[in-house]
C-alpha cells in the first residue's frame, strides 16, 4: 500500500500563518484534506483546539477551506455563494445578507453580489471563495494553492492582501503551496514536504539560511548542493553541504583568493540573464554549480572561469532521511 | 484540388456549410419536413358524408377534438399517466444514477451501464408481451403474492377504482409498471451523465461550509443535476404520451393518445384528426419545457 502521508506530526499555533510547501504529490494537500475532514486518516489523529476531530465530518468542523478551483456554486449568485455557510447554519436572511456584504467588502468586491460566478475573472472568483470561507469566522482557514491559477502580478498583490487579512482577523491560516516564494514571504512557519514526510519545519529565514537536507536546500532558495569527493575534500568527511548562488563571487584570472574562501574552477556552460543578476552555470569537479556573482561581467560561454565562496556560507546538510 | 482546399481554408463558413449540408438536408426533409406535413394535415378536415379529406385550411378538426368530452378524457388520461411515470422513473433512477456516477469505479461502473442498457437491446414488443404474462392472473407475480399470503392485499389494490382492474395485466397499475420499466433507462442515463459532471469539490465545499449531507443534496447536487433530470423526464414524458403499444397490450380498456392516432389514421381514415391528436403531445411537452425553464432547470447549463 502506498502512503500519501506518513509519520507527519505537526501542531499549528492559534493565529499562526502556517504553510505546507512541497512539490506535487508530496502529501501537503492530503494533509490539508485531513484537517478539513475530506479524508480520514488510516492511523493517527487530528485535534482542533484540543478536541479530537478525527471522526467528525467536515460539516461539523470549525474550519473553512479555500479550494484550488474555488468551488463556487455556479447556480447561485455571488452574494448567495458567500452567504451559503450562514444559510445552512440557520442565520436569518437579513443578517446573512448583511454579513455577506461585509465579507465581500473585505475582499474589495462590493457591488458584485448579483453576478454569477461564471461572469467573474479568476482573481475575482478567488476573492469570492475567500469571502465565502471567512464569512463563517472559522477558527482555522485552510487554503489549497489558492493563488495557483492567477498570473504573477495578481499573485503578488493577493499575497500582500492575504497576509494583511490574516493579521487583521487573527485567524489561523494553513496554506498549501508549491511556490517557495509564496511560502517564504507570507508564513510564520513552513513545513517542507517531500514524498509524504516533513523534511524540515522552521520559520522562513531559518529554512533559507539553514536548510536541513539536500532536498530543502534545492527546493527552498534553489541552493547548490555539493556532495561527493569534492565535498569530502572540503569538509573532511562525506557530509554534503549547500551554497546559495548569490553568495558566490567571481575571481578575475590571477586575482588572489580572498581569506576563508573556497575556490572552484570550471568551464562556463551558460549564462542566463535575470535582470539584477546573471546566473552562471559552471561545470567542473564532476558537477554543475549555479552562481550569481554580483557586478561581474560574464565571460564568453565555454571559457574557463574561477569562482569562490566564503567557508561561512557553506551549510552542512543531514543525509536524506531513509524511506 | 489545391485551389479548392485553399478556398475552403480561407472561408471556414463555406467549409462548414458544405460539410453540414447533407445531414441538414436529411434532417430537414425526413424529420422536420414530414412532421410539418403531418401538422399541416391537422388544419384540414374530413367531409362527413364522402369521408374524403377537404384540403382547405380550417380549425374544424381541432374543434371536433376539443368538443368531444371523450377526446379530452383520452388527453387527460394520457397526461396523468405520463406525469406519474415520469415521477416514478425520477425517484427510482436517482439513487441508481447517483451511485453509477459518483461512487462506482472501473468494472462496477461499466457493469452498471451495461445493466441499464441491456434491456434496450431486446425487442420492445417481446418485453411488452413478457410483461403481460408476468402481470396476468396466472402469472408469476400473482403466484408470488399468493405464496407470500398477500393475495388479499393485491386483490384489494386491484379493487381500487381508477387504478385496478380484473388483473394487473388489464389495469392502469399494470400499465404504469410496464411504462416505468420501459422508460427507466432513458431517465437513468441522462441523470447519471449530469451527476457525473458535478465537481466533487462543490460537494466538499458545501460540507466544508457546514451543510449536512441532506442540505448538500437539496441545495447543491439537485440543482446542478436538474438539466439531466429535465432531459430524462422529457424522454419518459414524451415516450409515454406517444406510445400506443403498451396501452394496447397491457392495461385497462381506456384509450390513450397514441392509440387514437393509430386508429384515426388507420381504420377510421381520418388523417386530420390523427394529426390533431399528435399535436397534443407536442404542445404538452412545449408547456412542460417552458415550465422547467421557468423553474430554473437549465440555469446550471
Phi, psi of A181 (to 5 degrees): -60, -45
Return the pLDDT at A154. Answer: 85
3-state secondary structure A226-245: ECCHHHHHHHCCCCCEEECH
- Rounded to two decimals, the pTM is 0.81
Q: Residue A59 and residue B212: Cβ atoms within 8 Å?
A: yes
Nearest Cβ partner for B199 among A71, A85, A89: A71
Greatest pairwise CA separation for chain B in angstroms? 82
Q: Which has more pLDDT, A223 or B236?
A: B236
**Percentage of residues in chain A having pLDDT higher than 90:** 38
* 3 state DSSP class of B89: helix
Residue B67: is its pLDDT beyond 70? yes
Sign of CA dihedral B149, B155, B160, B163: positive
Chain A and chain B share a number of CB contacts under 8 A equal to: 66
Provide the pLDDT confidence category of residue A320 given band limits of 50, 70 and 90.
low
Residue B273 near residue B38, CB atoms below 8 Å: no
What is the DSSP pairing of strand A304-310 with strand A315-316?
unpaired
Specify the DSSP element, H or E, that contains A302: none
CA-based nearest distance A55→chain B, Å: 15
Residue A323: is its pLDDT beyond 60? no
Residue A166: is its pLDDT beyond 60? yes
Region of A319 (left: φ > 0; alpha: ψ -120 to 50; beta: rest) is: beta
Q: What is the C-alpha to C-alpha distance for residues A220 and B31, in angstroms, rounded to an integer?
A: 66
Query: Which residues in A lie closer than 8 A to residue B215 (C-beta atoms)?
Result: 88
Nearest Cβ partner for B202 among A63, A73, A85: A73
Residue A112: is its pLDDT beyond 70? yes
Residue B250 near residue B13, CB atoms below 8 Å: no
Give residue-wise pLDDT tens across range B7-23.
888 888 888 888 999 99
Q: Which has more pLDDT, B33 or A254?
A: B33
Neighbouring residues of B225: CB distance < 8 A, sequence distance ≥ 6: B191, B194, B195, B198
Return the pLDDT at A128. Answer: 94
Residue B108: is its pLDDT beyond 80? yes
Mean pLDDT score, B265-271: 80
* 3 state DSSP class of B101: helix
Residue A159 near residue A185, CB atoms below 8 Å: yes
Return the pLDDT at A237. Answer: 74
Chain centroid offset of residue B238 CA: 4
3-state secondary structure B172-206: HHHHHHHHHHHHHHHHHHHHHHHHHCCCHHHHHHH
The CA distances from residue A37 to A2, A32, A133, B184, in Å, are 20, 9, 15, 36
Give residue-wise pLDDT tens across range A179-223.
988 999 999 999 999 988 899 999 999 998 889 888 998 888 778
Residues belonging to chain B with any Cβ–Cβ distance to chain A shorter than 8 Å: 199, 201-202, 204-213, 215, 219-220, 223-224, 296, 299-300
Residue of B nearest to A138 (CA): B209
The CA distances from residue B258 to B75, B130, B174, B255, in Å, are 10, 21, 18, 8
Return the pLDDT at B86. Answer: 96
Q: What is the C-alpha to C-alpha distance for residues B167 and B185, in angstroms, rounded to an integer?
A: 27
Residue A59 near residue B207, CB atoms below 8 Å: yes
- Any B CB within 8 A of A136 CB: yes
Interface predicted TM-score of the whole assembly (ipTM), two decimals: 0.83
Residue A235 near residue A278, CB atoms below 8 Å: no
Instruction: Please give the mean pLDDT across all residues of chain A.
Output: 88
- Of A264, A268, A229, A257, give the one whose Cα is nearest residue A243: A264
Give residue-wise pLDDT tens across range A274-289.
887 888 899 887 788 8
Residue A245: is its pLDDT beyond 80? yes
Cell of A270: 551558460
Specify the DSSP element, H or E, that contains A220: none
Return the pLDDT at B299. Answer: 66
Q: What is the C-alpha to C-alpha distance for residues A112 and A124, in angstroms, rounded to an integer?
A: 9
Residue of B nearest to A60 (CA): B210
Return the pLDDT at A59. Answer: 92
Using CA atoms of B178, B184, B186, B192 in order, give the dihedral in degrees to the nearest 10. Answer: 180
Mean pLDDT score, A291-319: 85
Residue B182 class from Cβ within 10 Å (0-12 exposed, 13-18 middle, 19+ buried)?
buried
Return the pLDDT at B300. Answer: 58
**Taking the CA atoms of chain A, what radius of gyration do you get in angstroms?**
24
Q: Label residues A124-161 b or e (16+ Cβ within 10 Å = b).
A: bbbbbbbbbbbbbebebbbbbbbbeebeeeebeebbee
What is the DSSP pairing of strand A315-316 with strand A241-243?
antiparallel
Query: Which residues in B lie closer than 8 A to residue A35 (C-beta atoms)?
Result: none
Grid-cell match 448567495, residue found = A80
Mean pLDDT score, B258-264: 86
Nearest Cβ partner for B201 among A63, A67, A132: A67
Q: Label residues A71-104 b or e (16+ Cβ within 10 Å = b).
A: bbbbbbbbbbbbbbbbbbeebeeeebbebbbebb
Domains and CATH numbers, chain A: 17-211 (3.40.50.300), 219-316 (2.40.50.140)
Residue of B nearest to A136 (CA): B209
Mean pLDDT score, A140-159: 88
Give residue-wise pLDDT tens across range A20-55.
999 988 889 999 999 999 988 888 889 988 889 988
Return the pLDDT at A228. Answer: 78
* 3 state DSSP class of A269: strand
Residue of B nearest to A72 (CA): B202
Q: Residue A74 and residue B300: Cβ atoms within 8 Å?
A: yes
Residue A132: is its pLDDT beyond 90? yes
- Of B106, B243, B128, give the one whose Cα is nearest residue B174: B128
- Any B CB within 8 A of A224 CB: no
Return the pLDDT at A14. Answer: 87
Q: What is the C-alpha to C-alpha distance for residues B238 and A91, in angstroms, rounded to an integer?
A: 43
Q: What is the C-alpha to C-alpha distance for residues B39 and B33, in angstroms, rounded to an integer?
A: 10
Region of A179 (left: φ > 0; alpha: ψ -120 to 50; beta: rest) is: beta
Residue of A nearest to B221 (CA): A73
Phi, psi of B22 (to 5 degrees): -60, -50
Query: Which residues in A lie closer than 8 A to residue B299 (C-beta atoms)?
Result: 75
Q: What is the C-alpha to C-alpha distance for residues A119 and A108, in angstroms, rounded to an integer?
A: 16
Neighbouring residues of A33: CB distance < 8 A, sequence distance ≥ 6: A39
Provide the pLDDT confidence category of residue A134 given band limits of 50, 70 and 90.
very high
DSSP A150: S
Q: Residue A36 and residue B211: Cβ atoms within 8 Å?
A: no
Return the pLDDT at A2. Answer: 66
Chain centroid offset of residue B14 CA: 38
Q: What is the C-alpha to C-alpha distance for residues B2 and B11, in angstroms, rounded to an integer?
A: 14
- Of A66, A65, A101, A68, give the one whose Cα is nearest residue A82: A101
Amino acid at each position: 500500500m502506498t502512503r500519501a502521508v506518513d509519520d507527519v506530526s505537526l501542531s499549528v499555533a492559534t493565529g499562526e500563518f502556517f504553510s505546507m510547501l512541497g512539490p506535487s504529490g508530496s502529501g501537503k494537500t492530503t494533509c490539508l484534506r485531513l484537517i478539513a475532514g475530506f479524508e480520514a486518516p488510516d492511523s493517527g489523529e487530528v485535534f482542533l483546539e484540543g478536541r479530537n476531530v478525527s471522526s467528525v465530518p467536515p460539516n461539523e468542523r470549525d474550519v473553512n477551506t479555500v479550494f484550488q478551483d474555488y468551488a463556487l456554486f455556479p447556480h447561485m449568485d455571488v452574494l448567495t455563494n458567500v452567504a451559503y455557510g450562514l444559510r445552512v447554519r440557520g442565520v436569518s436572511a437579513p443578517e446573512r445578507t448583511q454579513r455577506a456584504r461585509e465579507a465581500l467588502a473585505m475582499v474589495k468586491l462590493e457591488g458584485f453580489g448579483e453576478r454569477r460566478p461564471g461572469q467573474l475573472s479568476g482573481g475575482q472568483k478567488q476573492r469570492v471563495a475567500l469571502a465565502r470561507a471567512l464569512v463563517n469566522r472559522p477558527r482555522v482557514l485552510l487554503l489549497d494553492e489558492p493563488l495557483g491559477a492567477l498570473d504573477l502580478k495578481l499573485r503578488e498583490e493577493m499575497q500582500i492582501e492575504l497576509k494583511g487579512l490574516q493579521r487583521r482577523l487573527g485567524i489561523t491560516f494553513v496554506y498549501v503551496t508549491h511556490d517557495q516564494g509564496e511560502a517564504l514571504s507570507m508564513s510564520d512557519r513552513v513545513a517542507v514536504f517531500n514524498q509524504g514526510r516533513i523534511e524540515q519545519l522552521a520559520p522562513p529565514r531559518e529554512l533559507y539560511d539553514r536548510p536541513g537536507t539536500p532536498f530543502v536546500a534545492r527546493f527552498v532558495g534553489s541552493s547548490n548542493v555539493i556532495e561527493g569527493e569534492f565535498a569530502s575534500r572540503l569538509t573532511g568527511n562525506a557530509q554534503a553541504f549547500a551554497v546559495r548562488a548569490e553568495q558566490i563571487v567571481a575571481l578575475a584570472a590571477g586575482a588572489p583568493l580572498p581569506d576563508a574562501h573556497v575556490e572552484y574552477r570550471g568551464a562556463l556552460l551558460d549564462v542566463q540573464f535575470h535582470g539584477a543578476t546573471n546566473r552562471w552555470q559552471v561545470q567542473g569537479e564532476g558537477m554543475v554549480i549555479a552562481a550569481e556573482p554580483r557586478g561581474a561581467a560574464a565571460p564568453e560561454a565555454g571559457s574557463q572561469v574561477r569562482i569562490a565562496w566564503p567557508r561561512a556560507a557553506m551549510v552542512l546538510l543531514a543525509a536524506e532521511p531513509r524511506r | 484540388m489545391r485551389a479548392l482546399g485553399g478556398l475552403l481554408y480561407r472561408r471556414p463558413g463555406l467549409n462548414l456549410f458544405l460539410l453540414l449540408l447533407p445531414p441538414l438536408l436529411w434532417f430537414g426533409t425526413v424529420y422536420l419536413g414530414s412532421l410539418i406535413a403531418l401538422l399541416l394535415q391537422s388544419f384540414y378536415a374530413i367531409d362527413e358524408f364522402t369521408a374524403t379529406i377537404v384540403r382547405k385550411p380550417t380549425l374544424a378538426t381541432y374543434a371536433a377534438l376539443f368538443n368531444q368530452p371523450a377526446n379530452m378524457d383520452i388527453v387527460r388520461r394520457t397526461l396523468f399517466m405520463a406525469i406519474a411515470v415520469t415521477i416514478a422513473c425520477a425517484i427510482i433512477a436517482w439513487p441508481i444514477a447517483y451511485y453509477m456516477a459518483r461512487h462506482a469505479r472501473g468494472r462496477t461502473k461499466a457493469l452498471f451501464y451495461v445493466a441499464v442498457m441491456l434491456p434496450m437491446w431486446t425487442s420492445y414488443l417481446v418485453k411488452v408481451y413478457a410483461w403481460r404474462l408476468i402481470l396476468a392472473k396466472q402469472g408469476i407475480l400473482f403466484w408470488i403474492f399468493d405464496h407470500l399470503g398477500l393475495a388479499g392485499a393485491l386483490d384489494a389494490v386491484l379493487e381500487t377504482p381508477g387504478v385496478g382492474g380484473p388483473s394487473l395485466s388489464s389495469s392502469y397499475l399494470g400499465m404504469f409498471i410496464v411504462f416505468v420499466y420501459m422508460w427507466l433507462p432513458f431517465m437513468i442515463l441522462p441523470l447519471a451523465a449530469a451527476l457525473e459532471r458535478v465537481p466533487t469539490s462543490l460537494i466538499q465545499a458545501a460540507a466544508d461550509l457546514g451543510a449536512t449531507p441532506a442540505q448538500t443534496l437539496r441545495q447543491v447536487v439537485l440543482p446542478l443535476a436538474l438539466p439531466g433530470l429535465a432531459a430524462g423526464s422529457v424522454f419518459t414524458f414524451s415516450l409515454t404520451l406517444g406510445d400506443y403499444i403498451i396501452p394496447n397490450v397491457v392495461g385497462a380498456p381506456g384509450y390513450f393518445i397514441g392509440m387514437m392516432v393509430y386508429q384515426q389514421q388507420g381504420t377510421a381514415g381520418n388523417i386530420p384528426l390523427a394529426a390533431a391528436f399528435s399535436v397534443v403531445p407536442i404542445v404538452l411537452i412545449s408547456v412542460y419545457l417552458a415550465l422547467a425553464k421557468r423553474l430554473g432547470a437549465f440555469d446550471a447549463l
